[in-house]
Amino acid sequence: MQQENAARGNSEGATGNLTQLEFLALNSEFNLADGHARQSLTAGQSQIVAELPLLFEEGEKRPVEELEREAHAAFFTALGQHSYPSAPGRVLSCYSSSVAMEILSRALAETTGSVALVHPTFDNIADLLRGNGLKLVPLAEDPLHGDDLDTDLLTSVGCVFVTTPNNPTGRVVSKERLTRLAEQCAAHGVVLALDTSFRGFDTRAHYDHYEVLQASGARWVVIEDTGKLWPTLDLKVGMLVHSENLALPVEKIYSDILLGVSPLILAMVRRFSEDAAAGGLEDLHRFIAGHRAMVREELAGLPGVYVPDPDSRASVERIGLTDLTGTQVWERLREHNVYALPCRAFHWADPSQGDHTLRLALARSTDPLTQSVRALRHVLQQR
């Protein structure tokens, strides 16, 4: 009911947070708003769905701890994270990455007052941090990927929070850059937090983050997510992974919120991860790359339209607009029952920086995506 009321409250314009705008799009065939996987199942994934009765039976009979351990191992190794901590309690399985984010936010609020957060990024990260009383300091992407972080910044915050690959820009923190960030955070006693929910789409993010983090001696947290990768009708697992020396009450707060996740979903994540490792991930990369190429081809040559993130491999694509705002285009697209995301709210510290960009989700079936992009082209031609 709360979600329904939020949607009603934003039915007349692109106001509110990004999740509220995404909710408006859920019942449209032409939903390019949320970043969840909504394309058709592959043949291999369809076979896994056909096995759900067997997975349910397995979930009934086997210890949850075993299923969870197997799901974690399959997921992390499929994405190159071979050094993930397998000790009990170091990977906390959650209903979603947002639940993991809420746990981290509450834990940070017990020991610090300020967090340096990458800017732009998905606004619910900022909302959850601020909702727990934390002051946010914007960390622009260019400096983040460039020189060392400023010492004054590191002495004024208790946590540096980075999304990699970032949503919506797709920028990836390289191994060399993560090494230095972790070293700086370790030297200043600052927690380094990463949200890697879009890692699966970009092989440049498949280097072993956990090897780097554990070697640094830093206090760290990583939020993982299966929900962006596979079209499983939002049956997913978020994970909060943390260093042994974190010294934050994440396990206690976790127990305040949930007991655990469904063994059926754990078994399903294991099977989807195995399918990904057996070639499904490469197929996904080709699928998203093909959709990105189609979007760029359909919009090429339109005056006042450009691609701000030419190197992105994430399952979302930003469209730059020199003459129109993202909100204006969003409103006109709604007349065609097409939904995208205006990017103001991604720029949580200064929404005006996102005025002239629009985000499209690429993890969609090809025909609806193509029709939606052609509607977008029509709207942009009519201006």
pLDDT in tens, 289-345: 999 999 999 999 999 999 999 999 999 999 999 999 999 999 999 999 999 999 999
Cα three-residue angle 51-52-53, rounded to 5 degrees: 95
24: confidence class by pLDDT, cuts 50, 70, 90? low
pLDDT over 60 (residue 378) = yes
Span 240-298, pLDDT tens digits: 999 999 999 999 999 999 999 999 999 999 999 999 999 999 999 999 999 999 999 99
pLDDT on residue 157: 98
pLDDT on residue 308: 98
Q: Where are the alpha helices (DSSP H) in the chain?
A: 2-9, 18-25, 43-50, 52-61, 64-78, 97-109, 123-131, 141-144, 151-154, 175-188, 209-216, 250-257, 263-275, 281-299, 326-334, 366-381
pLDDT on residue 8: 36
Give me the percent of the chain exceeding a pLDDT of 90: 90
Span 115-147, pLDDT tens digits: 999 999 998 999 999 999 999 999 999 999 998
d(CA 292, CA 314): 9
pLDDT on residue 20: 73
d(CA 96, CA 93): 8
Q: Mean pLDDT in the chain?
A: 94
d(CA 15, CA 1): 19
Write out the H or E segment, with its range, that includes residue 119: strand 114-119
Tokens 């097409």, residue? Answer: 338
Q: Evaluate whether 108 touches 159 at the Cβ level (below 8 Å).
A: yes
Burial pattern 185-214, b for ≥16 Cβ within 10 A else e, equals: bbebebbbbbbbbbbbbbebbebbbbbbbb
Q: SS3 of 229, please? A: coil
Task: State the pTM of this model.
Answer: 0.93
